[in-house]
Amino acid sequence: MAVPKRKSSKRKCRARKGSHATTVRVGQACPVCSAPKQPHRVCPSCGQYRGVQVLTVASA
């Protein structure tokens, strides 16, 4: 088994793990209601996907 020869410093460990940070997802505007939504998903505000009503959304 491979065993490290020296202790990894905090700087080395944190620099390596810095690439694991989450990124901000880019949203799109819904073509029906112009609300922000994720691509390839049902719009949470109007419930439509590609022009078809998929969910019934209760208006508050």
Q: Report pTM.
A: 0.54
Task: Kindly give, in sequence order, each residue whose CB lies less than 8 Å from that of residue 30, ignoring residues fewer than 6 positions away.
Answer: 36, 37, 43, 45, 46, 48
For residues 16 and 3, what is the distance between their CA atoms, to the nearest angstrom? 18
Q: What is the pLDDT of residues 12-54, one digit of tens each?
A: 999 999 888 888 777 899 999 999 999 999 999 999 999 899 9
Residue 7 confidence (pLDDT) above 70: yes
Cβ count within 10 A of residue 56: 6
H-helix or E-strand containing 59? none
